[in-house]
Amino acid sequence: MFALKRVLLLAVGLASLVSATSSTGNSVLVVVEPKRQDDFSMFFEGLKDQGYELTFRQPKDEKPLIAEYDVAAFAHVVLLASETKNFAKDITPQSLVDLLRLKTNLIIALSTKQTPLSLLAPEFSLILPPPGTPLISYFPKRDEPASLVPITPTKRDATQIISDTSKPIWFSGVPQALGSNPQLVPILHAPAESFASEIDGGSADALVDSAEKGGEGLWAGSQLSVVTGFQTLDGARVTWVGGVDLFSDELAQKVGPDGLKSGNAAFARDIVAWTFQESLVLRIDKVEHHRVNETGPSELYTTNDELVFNAYISKFNPKQGSWEPYSGINDMQLEFTMLDPHIRTALPPVRSVPGKYSVTFRAPDRHGVFKFVVDYKRKGWSHLHSSVTVPIVPPRHDGYPRFLSAAWPYYAGAISTSIAFFLFSALWLAGEVRESAKRPGKAGKAE
Amino acid sequence: MSTAYPIPSDISPATVKNTASLLRIVALSLISGAAIASRLFAVINFESIIHEFDPWFNYRATRVLAAKGFYEFWNWFDPTAWYPLGRVVGGTVYPGLMVTSGVIYNILHFLNLPVDIRNVCVLLAPGFSALTAWATYMFTKEMKDESAGLLAAAFIGIVPGYISRSVAGSYDNEAIAIFLLMFTFYCWIKALKQGSALFGTIAAVFYFYMVAAWGGYVFITNMIPLHALVLVLMGRFSDRLYVAYSSWYAIGTLASMQVPFVGFQPVSTSEHMGALGVFGLLQIVAFAQLVRTHVSSQQFQKLLFGSVVAIGVLGFFSFIFLTYKGKIAPWTGRFYSLWDTGYAKKYIPIIASVSEHQPTAWPSFFMDLQFLIFLFPAGVVLCFRELRDEHLFVIIYAVMASYFAGVMVRLMLTLTPVVCVASAVALSTLLDTYIDPTEPVADDDTRSEADSTVTSNGSSAPSKKAKKAAAAAVSAPSKGPLSDLVAAATGSAHAGTGNITTGIFGLDSRGVVVLNVVFMLMFFVFHCTWVTSNAYSSPSVVLASTNPDGSQHIIDDFREAYYWLRQNTPQDAVVMSWWDYGYQIAGMADRPTLVDNNTWNNTHIATVGKAMSSSEEVAYPILRKHDVDYVLVIFGGLIGYSGDDINKFLWMVRIAQGVWPEEIQEPNYFTSQGEYRIDDRASQTMKDSLMYKMSYYRFNELFGGNPGTDRVRQQQVPKEGPTLDYLDEAFTSENWIVSLFPSLSYLAPHHFFRSTSDASNCICSRNSDSDFVSMSLLVLPRW
Amino acid sequence: MAPKSTPASSETAFNAFNTLWKAYRDGTSDRLKFIDSFLFFLMLSGIVQFAYCILVSNFPYNAFLAGFSSTVGQFVLAASLRSQVNPDNKDEFKDVSPERAFADFALGSIVLHFFVYNFLG
């Protein structure tokens, strides 16, 4: 409902009063060539209306720096200067990777030209076709050039990110073949009948050559992705967009051959929402562990204790700009690990308490330093990881049963020996006294 | 009866006796003082610090004991050791040492003497060395007499073979164990002599203390039964032996099982079966003896003898059968390595890798025992002369301990007491003979001549000696003549010997021998002092070298690095290093370690060895799996410290190979010529190994980009140094001995801590080549 | 304690036992006989415990060891006492008078029982 309204508002170009905020900050640096800045005015306005503070910078400007003294200057960076070959000193593939380490989110637009950014793409397991080979599709038949492709999202695309799958998204740019990196989040795939080729239909030799070299086959079909997300292990997000025109005013207002309005504006909004950590953002608020029937955590547990583990998970609500308890995860697991998981069990949500997940299990009969590990990684969602170390110790010396019924014959033996000893000693001493009394002479001799 | 020098005759026997015992007490206290004082070199030269490796664990455990009490200590599970396995400390430790310190600490605090637990620990070993001297005195007294006892006490007080394990700060089990060893033996001898169950019980109680204090208690467990067995075989069985052995074994064995670490071993492992067997044998023999007193039938005795033999054979076979069935644990690997010196190297590299377990080098016998090593056989021979039951004990002890000391360096320690005892017996016999004033009967004229010429000189000889005896240790021999005086006065030994035919004529021959002995004793004192101060007083945590101008230069890299860890890393940052440094990291840096000197889990150690000896790509998953945050490397190539990790590297490879023979192969680490090199010609596997890379990472930068020279290996490192992809350098100590490498997953800001002042230090240390050679020499005996 | 062997022919063995028994009865003082009866009781107790351990269960092994060693220890201590107070052995135990022998015995037994009860549970 809300999404529909927002799309409408954007589509008619009205200033929206509704704002959605990111969970990591509102400052955005936009690196864009000055001559093209106006082409994306609707996109920028939309960002501003949501409450983002945009800072524009030309690719060759020295200032403002993207990071200074190992501190990122902006929460998000949008690199729309896809054609630029020479950036200022501080924008290099390496510095962008560093930015990701500082948890800055990136939107990076690619083009058919070879630029520093396209050289960076392979580091993210994106395999680009050789320069000058955009995505081409002759279907559906239309007036537009073959390199401007309408793509209607299908089920294979990231439906949890794309809010409106009914409208075509007009795309012009390079497709990406995807490597096997599990951190990739393909957002929008190319249509099945599309392929990468030179526009004028000239010789395809170069393409075939590089395809053979790459070993990935031709860049063709729905395996290709045109917009691809990537989430680092630290949780920073980067989205690779095959062509910068996706964000342009022209394509946002375009009406398709069958009369459908363009979905570009909404799609751009979705990309921003995901990349800037508005949607699909989870976090573990806290974890607890304690023995059954106790409330506070213990510094250490004994083998075979019954343990309770609780995790509290929140989801970011961009509308309110706040974190809300989230009980929607049904496939989370808890591992109890020492070198290898000794116990792996489901960590189901507790229905009565929103956001709480709880499990009770018995500690293994093995002492050592164990970890409660929650490791929840799903494509598109922020990764949940928590590891709490706790020692499991053997029972204390008085923790074992001391007197066993099985041992009573031995107890009897030991006690009878002691009693016999006392009796013997008493009799012996008595005998000595008697003897010395009776026969003083003999006792005297014994002395 | 004639004398070589005049003896005052107007002193009453009681006075002589009292004076002699007073002098004995004074001498013993002086010996104790000397024993303690000579062990304080380490404190004076360096500081009051715990030494070496194992003592750091003992110290840490003692602190837990002192802070939390005995029961907490007993239940102490240490989650920071052997991460992530953890270590059940209470059940895997000989608690005697810690409990002793804890008791002393509590007593002192009860007396309102607020002594730091560290000082108790540092000074425990010297304190117990004084007790050892006393126990040795008592023991030797049983062998010969008080004068021999005093000599033995003086020897054991300062002999380097014992000092090496008991300097101040060497807070190890051996510190108290030697005292317990000697005292248990003393009680045993006493029990045997008197046939007293009381001394047998005392021996058992001290045996229990010994079991709680040191794994070497097995030595007692086998020595005493061996002695008893030999006595029985020699036909010297007596009821005294039965009483002494039975009371000791019955109580001692039960008591030893109270120690959690020992548990049921006394009834289930082969090492303890000898004692049990002798116990059974003694019961049978005693019963047979009893029967014999009642019956004299020839036939019956034959029958009895046959049945005794049959039972013995039966017991032996049942022992073998039980071992075969697994009811009795067979000998442990450590035990086998005592018989076959090549065994450990082949099957248990982890034991062989410890320098203490190497066979003893011949020079070290002389270094540790000096002239006692010559006197030792003489003393043993003298024991044969009388061959009472207790002499037999010394002989057996001497034979066994000599063998073991030859096999393993660390067992030199058990040899030392018997060497002292035997040498004291020999030396005191010699002195007795030569100071004895009685002249043998000979031609009258010769005797009177000798008498008239030297009488005036005569009295000055002992007084000169007495002056020289200022050093406490040498004061012992001066008691020789006094005890003779006692003997002469009380008339027990020499009173009736007016007409003996063998002996020494004149004072000159006496003087030559006695002065010679005095000279040897003095030289012994010098030697002991020199060895102690130079070789055995280095804490090995702090190294010392000499600057060109003769002043001492302290190399404190270990503590520098450990304190860096302590101050700059989170409390739970796991540090991986070779096991040698585990206890020190735990003690000084207070950080979890993967492996430490308690080498109970060979696989875990091999895992670390594998990580160190494989390439970064292979090592990284291992590091991740074990949550390693930092890797600690010891590198001596810059200053010539020979005990570094590159020199130990082959052991890591061997131990890793024992577990992963497919992945790690020792030959790959040698050049094609079979050399162990670190320069250009080093094999590729060697160059790729994590240890090599970490050791020589950025080494060339110190030399301005030129290939640097490794001063331990005396080789040039390759021109382009190794690069690290997964690890990073966090900290390198001043002299480059210790380096720390965080694994990259660790997200703390990167620390690059090679302070610039190092360069100047390095240069200055490079100028003083010879100093470091001498330093590494001094360090050698400890490694 | 030791089984009296397996004689070659039962007749001679029987005779031998007979003489032994007679000699024992005649040549032993009452006090020694008193000790011997104590020893006999301890031996029986030890044999019963051992048999129980073998035949039924050695489960609390420490309890078995404690009980069994208490009988064994008490046995050897009493046997020591016996040989020390035996007038025949007088010259062997010069330093140990019968009174001291009993004191030794009592002290040793107390130490023994202390360890036994510590180990029992």
The DSSP bridge partners found for residue B753 are B731
Residue A106 Cα distances to A29, A79, A239, A286, B766, angstroms: 10, 7, 6, 28, 52
What span, in angstroms and rounded, lies between the C-alpha atoms of B537 and B169?
A: 9
Name the residue facing B251 among C5, C95, C108 (closest C-beta).
Answer: C108
Residues B190 and B279 in one domain: yes
Residues A251 and A371 in one domain: no
Name the residue facing C71 among A403, A413, A427 (closest C-beta).
Answer: A413
CATH classification of the domain holding A134: 3.40.50
Point out the domain boundary residue: B331, B352, B379.
B331
Provide the terminal-to-terminal Cα distance of chain C, rounded to the nearest Å: 28
Nearest to C112 by CA among A424, B190, B250: B250
C-beta of residue C37 within 8 angstroms of C-beta of residue C45: no
Residue B54 lies in a domain: no
State whether residue B735 is helix, strand or coil: coil
Residue B161 lies in a domain: no
In chain C, residues with a C-beta closer than 8 Å to the C-beta of A411 are: 63, 67, 120
What span, in angstroms and rounded, lies between the C-alpha atoms of B28 and B24?
A: 6
Residues B452 and B529 in one domain: yes
What span, in angstroms and rounded, lies between the C-alpha atoms of B143 and B145?
A: 7
Nearest to B91 by CA among B258, B327, B270: B258
Name the residue facing A417 among C57, C70, C106 (closest C-beta).
Answer: C70
pLDDT of residue B500: 56
Residues A261 and A289 in one domain: no
Residue B254 lies in a domain: yes
Q: Which two tokens stand for residue B12?
A: 């009453």
Name the residue facing C60 among A404, A424, A435 (closest C-beta).
Answer: A404
Residue B424 lies in a domain: no
Residue B259 lies in a domain: yes
Residues B526 and B574 in one domain: no
Residue B130 lies in a domain: no
Residues A142 and A169 in one domain: yes
Name the DSSP class of B485. Answer: H
Q: Does A447 touch chain B (CB under 8 A)?
A: no
What span, in angstroms and rounded, lies between the C-alpha atoms of A357 and A373?
A: 14
Nearest to A122 by CA among A182, A190, A206, A178: A178
pLDDT of residue B186: 93
pLDDT of residue B581: 86
The DSSP bridge partners found for residue B226 are none
Look-up of token digits 């989110």: A105
| Residues 6+ positions from A434 with CB-CB distance below 8 Å | none
Point out the domain boundary residue: A275, A302, A321.
A275
pTM for this model (two decimals): 0.80
Residues B653 and B756 in one domain: yes
**Domain span holding position B263:** 177-331
In chain B, residues with a C-beta closer than 8 Å to the C-beta of C109 are: none
Name the DSSP class of A195. Answer: E
Name the phi and psi angles at B53, rounded to 5. Answer: -110, -65
Give the helix ranges, DSSP H, for B408-443: 412-435
What span, in angstroms and rounded, lies between the C-alpha atoms of A417 and C74?
A: 8
Q: Does A428 touch chain C (CB under 8 A)?
A: yes
C-facing residues of B in 368-387 (CB < 8 A) are none
The three state secondary structure string of B8-39 is CCCCCHHHHHHHHHHHHHHHHHHHHHHHHHHC
Residue A64 lies in a domain: yes
A 10 A CB-CB count for B756 gives: 6
In chain A, residues with a C-beta closer than 8 Å to the C-beta of B89 are: none
Q: Which two tokens stand for residue A249?
A: 């005013």
CA distance C103 to chain B (A): 8
C-beta of residue B356 within 8 angstroms of C-beta of residue B401: no
Q: Which two tokens stand for residue B510?
A: 């006496």
Nearest to A109 by CA among A183, A196, A180, A40: A40
Closest alpha carbon within chain C to B289: C83
Residues B613 and B759 in one domain: yes
Residue B283 CB burial class (10 angstroms; 0-12, 13-18, ≥19): buried
Report strand pairing: A384-393 vs A301-302.
parallel
Q: Which two tokens stand for residue B430?
A: 């010699």
A 10 A CB-CB count for A180 gives: 6
Residue A404 lies in a domain: no
pLDDT of residue A213: 63
pLDDT confidence bin for B345, thresholds 50/70/90: low
In chain B, residues with a C-beta closer than 8 Å to the C-beta of C81 are: 197
Number of domains into which chain A is organized: 3
Look-up of token digits 């009693």: A419
What span, in angstroms and rounded, lies between the C-alpha atoms of B652 and B251?
A: 44
Q: Does B264 touch chain C (CB under 8 A)?
A: yes
Name the phi and psi angles at B10, rounded to 5. Answer: -95, 15
pLDDT, tens only, B171-183: 888 888 999 999 9
Residues A109 and A249 in one domain: yes
| Residues 6+ positions from A231 with CB-CB distance below 8 Å | A183, A185, A237, A238, A380, A382, A383
Residue B477 lies in a domain: yes
The DSSP bridge partners found for residue A108 are A79, A240
**Domain span holding position A210:** 2-275
Q: Does B258 touch chain C (CB under 8 A)?
A: yes
CA distance A379 to chain B (A): 22
State whether residue A382 is helix, strand or coil: coil
C-beta of residue A398 within 8 angstroms of C-beta of residue B70: no
Residues A149 and A208 in one domain: yes
Residues B449 and B595 in one domain: no
What is the mean pLDDT of the segment spanning B578-588?
86
Name the stretches of chain C with pLDDT < 50.
1-8
The three state secondary structure string of B312-367 is HHHHHHHHHHHHHHCCCECCCHHHHHHHCCCHHHHHCHHHHCCHHHCCCCHHHHHH
Residues A294 and A269 in one domain: no
In sign, the C-alpha dihedral spanning B578, B579, B582, B583 is negative
C-beta of residue C73 within 8 angstroms of C-beta of residue B251: yes
Residues B596 and B677 in one domain: yes
Residues A237 and A313 in one domain: no
Query: What one-letter code names the amino acid at A255?
Result: V
ipTM of the complex: 0.87
pLDDT of residue A150: 86
What span, in angstroms and rounded, lies between the C-alpha atoms of A228 and B243?
A: 90
| Residues 6+ positions from A430 with CB-CB distance below 8 Å | none
Range among B21-35, B74-88, B612-626, C72-86 with highest mean pLDDT value = B21-35
Which among A403, A405, A417 is the top mutation candidate for probing chain C, defined by the most C β-carbons within 10 Å of its own β-carbon? A417
Residues B584 and B528 in one domain: no
Residues A336 and A439 in one domain: no
Does residue B599 have a pLDDT over 90? Answer: no
Residues B582 and B508 in one domain: no
Residues B210 and B313 in one domain: yes
CATH classification of the domain holding B711: 3.40.50.12610
Helix (H) or strand (E) holding B220: helix B217-233
Residues B573 and B717 in one domain: yes
pLDDT confidence bin for B641, thresholds 50/70/90: confident
Nearest to B182 by CA among B403, B376, B417: B417
What span, in angstroms and rounded, lies between the C-alpha atoms of A77 and A31?
A: 8
In chain C, residues with a C-beta closer than 8 Å to the C-beta of A424 are: 38, 78
Residue B324 lies in a domain: yes
| Residues 6+ positions from A51 with CB-CB distance below 8 Å | A19, A20, A21, A26
B-facing residues of C in 28-57 (CB < 8 A) are none
In chain A, residues with a C-beta closer than 8 Å to the C-beta of B74 are: 397
What span, in angstroms and rounded, lies between the C-alpha atoms of A165 and A266?
A: 10
What span, in angstroms and rounded, lies between the C-alpha atoms of B298 and B215?
A: 48
Average pLDDT, chain B: 78
Residues B512 and B561 in one domain: no
Instruction: State the Cα angle at B317 between B312 and B319, rounded to 5°.
Output: 95
Point out the domain boundary residue: A275, A303, A321.
A275
Name the residue facing C45 among A402, A417, A435 (closest C-beta).
Answer: A417
Q: Which two tokens stand for residue B208?
A: 């229990």
Kindly give the confidence (pLDDT) of every residue in chain A, 447 residues in length, as a single tens digit, with 9 standing for 90 and above: 444 444 444 443 333 334 667 888 889 999 888 888 888 888 898 888 888 888 888 888 887 888 888 888 889 999 888 788 888 888 888 888 888 888 899 999 988 888 888 888 888 888 888 887 888 888 777 777 888 888 888 888 877 888 877 888 888 888 888 888 888 888 988 888 888 877 665 556 666 666 666 555 667 788 888 899 999 888 889 999 988 888 888 888 887 767 778 888 888 888 888 998 888 899 999 999 999 888 888 888 888 889 999 999 999 988 888 889 998 888 899 999 988 889 999 999 998 988 899 999 999 988 888 999 998 988 888 888 898 989 898 888 777 777 777 778 888 888 888 888 888 888 888 877 776 665 444 333 333
Number of domains into which chain B is organized: 3
Does residue B692 have a pLDDT over 90? Answer: no
Q: Does the distance separating the beta carbons of B310 and C5 come in below 8 Å?
A: yes
A 10 A CB-CB count for B702 gives: 17
How many residue pairs bridge chain A and chain B with CB atoms within 8 Å of each other?
39
Point out the domain boundary residue: B296, B331, B366.
B331
pLDDT confidence bin for B770, thresholds 50/70/90: very low
What is the mean pLDDT of the segment spanning B122-144?
91
Name the residue facing C111 among B194, B201, B258 (closest C-beta).
Answer: B201
Nearest to A237 by CA among A206, A201, A279: A279
Nearest to B766 by CA among B694, B710, B705: B710
Which among A365, A369, A371 is the top mutation candidate for probing chain B, defined by the most B β-carbons within 10 Å of its own β-carbon? A369
Point out the domain boundary residue: A221, A248, A275.
A275
pLDDT, tens only, B450-494: 444 434 343 434 434 433 433 333 334 444 444 444 444 444 434
Residues A253 and A291 in one domain: no
Residues A111 and A245 in one domain: yes
pLDDT of residue B179: 92
Note if the bond before A140 is cis, omega within 30 degrees: yes
Residues A40 and A142 in one domain: yes
B-facing residues of A in 215-234 (CB < 8 A) are 234
B-facing residues of A in 272-301 (CB < 8 A) are 300
Residue A414 CB burial class (10 angstroms; 0-12, 13-18, ≥19): buried
Residue A25 lies in a domain: yes
| Residues 6+ positions from B765 with CB-CB distance below 8 Å | B638, B639, B735, B772
Residues A6 and A148 in one domain: yes
Helix (H) or strand (E) holding A170: strand A169-171
